[in-house]
Structure 1
Amino acid sequence: MKKILLLLIIVISGSCKNNVKEEKKERFPTNLAQVFKTHGGLKLWQNAKVLSFNKGDEVHTADLQSRKTVINHPKYSLGFDGNEVWLEETEEGSFKGNKNFYYNLFFYFYAMPFVLADDGITYSKAADLVFKGINYPGYKISYDADKGASPDDNYIIYYNPETYKMEWLAYIVTFNSKKTSNKYNLIKYDTWENVNGLLLPKQIQWYKKDEKGNPKEPEGAPLEFTLPLLSQGKLAGSFFEKPKKQLN
């Protein structure tokens, strides 16, 4: 029901706006620019206003321009309203984790590779990733010191050298430690689906690594994303605010 209401709000809002945003003039390494193009192109991504997807019982919705976010679950809601991260639980203790770390974690995993075109990013060539005899070229992504809560986080995107589809993501998380690290986690982007012209992930799989840092075997069960929604309609800022408690 929440997804249906969200779609209706977006359709009504989007029908009132006909202005198409001009594509940003960005400079990327040539092969990385081809990866963005293969996944539908930056123009479509930059003109989109709202992205929504389901992860299990959670509905994740993000304003792509402001990066305001809300996650709705039957037992809790949390989000970022542009100023602070909030949490509201229908059952105390039902949300497990750190809301400040979690609120946009899976947005980043889902919005690959396009979030790697954000402002304040530096690109450098990375050593190839090798898996089952295939060499996957990669680019390391690092952030300016004033970008986000964890600017020392690093990503490496690896793409198929024939199709130019993204196939792997290596990433470092420094949110809790606040220290730089060379310990990368590794995700295989197994399955993609077309969502209004953009190739977005349907399934991702974490992998164990060998001593050289190459993928060895799957770790745990794959993660499925369902009910994707991408729209040029705009949601009101109040959609991302903490729900007000009703008085009895």
Structure 2
Amino acid sequence: MKTTHTFLTLFLVLSFVACKEANKKETNTDVQMEIPETTYHIPDAWIQKRVEAANKKLNSTEAGKVLWSAMEAHGGLEKWFSNGYFSLRFNYQPLNGKGIRDSYQTIDTWSNKARHNSVTDPESVFGWDGNEAWIKAKDSTSFEYDTAFWALTPLYFSGQPFVLDGEGVNLELLPDQEFKGTLQKVIKATYDAGVGSAPDDYYILYVNSETNLLDAFKYIVSYPEYFPNGGHAPEKITVIQGTTNVDGIVLATGFKTYWSTDDKDGLGEYITKIDVTDMSFSPTVPENFFSKPAGAEVLNK
């Protein structure tokens, strides 16, 4: 069993204690506070089947081969899944000071479920259980942003290139391009209609031709709640600011995001700084960890 980072352990304990305390108040009886024995675990056979399917699919096209080589350079898709649940603190800081989003989170990388908790108040939580977005917070100031949209957004930064392995993802090989003095293999990822909450999104990955590591990626936001009449925000480009190895997976420790331009390197105005810390993997989480807790509000009714 791999070592779980102190943050995740503390988070699970605090969440469980808070739940137990709530039950105690409701029933007015003493309850022994202990971590439940039942855990949520994904079988190794399931992981192997998914990795084999991705390997076969990706290596059947030139664009897929580039993506697979990037996955291998970042530690491998099998390692990504078999490490377990991915935890991190993702601190998204627009330079204009508006829309700062800073939370601890744990993500089910197999089925794209997520649970976030406030950096300042561990009892304020929100998440996505695979079907519903939910929130349980002290008041409206706990999370002053669209938590339904944000529940999985950090995964599509910190989980690159692994998050593009699934069904409904279409890859296109674009011409090689120089970026910051290094030749990049470039692939574009789009989605089938109906895939995810924003199927019109796309990502353009810059894969370093020397290391096969991801150096940067372009993307758009087309979330229908933001653009009910269609369309999307202007294209942005996010540049990785450093990496670290966590249980065999190479992960970004930060990003800088710019408006995308047609100039050299495509870097326009620098608009957002992102710090990624407290990264760890855990092989299990408590049963129903990603489900809405008692008293939570469902957001996408």
Tell me whether the two structures share a fold, i.e. TM-score over 0.5: yes
Distance 1:200 1:70 in 2: 20
Shift of 1:87: 1.5
1:163 deviates by: 0.7
- Which position in structure 2 is the counterpart of 1:241? 291
Match of 1:177 in 2: 227
Which residue is equivalent to 2:209? 161
Cα distance, 1:221–1:148 mapped onto 2, change above 3 Å: closer
Name the residue aligned to 1:42. Answer: 77
- Cα distance, 1:186–1:123 mapped onto 2, change above 3 Å: same
Q: Kindly provide the CA deviation profile for residues 32-64 of structure 1, in whole angstroms up to 9, marking residues without a partner as x.
A: 211111001111123243111012451111112
Bigger radius of gyration among the two: 2
Residues 168 and 11 of structure 1, relative CA distance in 2, 3 Å threshold: farther
Paired residues of 1:130 and 1:214 also in contact (CA < 8 A): yes
Matched, 1:66 2:101: no
Q: Which residue of 1 aligns with 2:248?
A: 197
For structure 1, the residue ranges without an aligned partner over 5 or more in a row are none
Distance, in Å, in 1 between the alignment partners of 2:160 and 2:84 is 16
> Cα–Cα, structure 1 residues 211 and 93, in superposed 2: closer, same or farther, change >3 Å?
same
Q: Deviations over 1:149-176 (max 9, x none)?
A: 1111100111111111100110011002
CA–CA separation in structure 1 for the residues paired with 2:43 and 2:112: 22
Aligned counterpart, 1:114: 162
Residue ranges of structure 2 left out of the alignment (5+ in a row): 1-5, 14-34, 59-63, 92-101, 297-301
Structure 1 distance, partners of 2:36, 2:282, is 7
Deviation of 1:129 (Å): 4.1
Q: Which residue, 3, 9, 12 being the options, matches 1:4?
A: 9
Alpha carbons of structure 1 residues 235 and 65: separation in structure 2 relative to 1, 3 Å: farther
Q: Is the 8 A contact 1:48 1:64 kept in 2?
A: no
| Cα-to-partner distance string for 1:165-188 (whole Å, 9 max, x where unaligned) | 100110011002153459421000
Structure 2 equivalent of residue 142 of structure 1: 190
Matched residue of 1:119: which SS? coil
TM-score by length of 1: 0.85
CA 1:189 to 1:154, structure 2 compared with 1: closer, same or farther past 3 Å? same
- Greater Cα offset, 94-103 or 209-218: 209-218
State the 1:131 CA deviation.
Answer: 3.0
CA gap of 1:173–1:63, structure 2 versus 1, over 3 A, is same
Distance 1:182 1:65, change over 3 A: same
What RMSD in Å do the two structures reach over aligned CA positions?
Answer: 3.0
Q: Deviations over 1:167-220 (max 9, x none)?
A: 011001100215345942100012111111111111111124433483336614
Higher helix share: 2
Give the 3 Å change call, closer, same or farther, for CA 7–129 of structure 1 in structure 2: farther
Of the structure 1 ranges 130-139 and 51-60, higher mean CA displacement relative to structure 2 is found in: 130-139
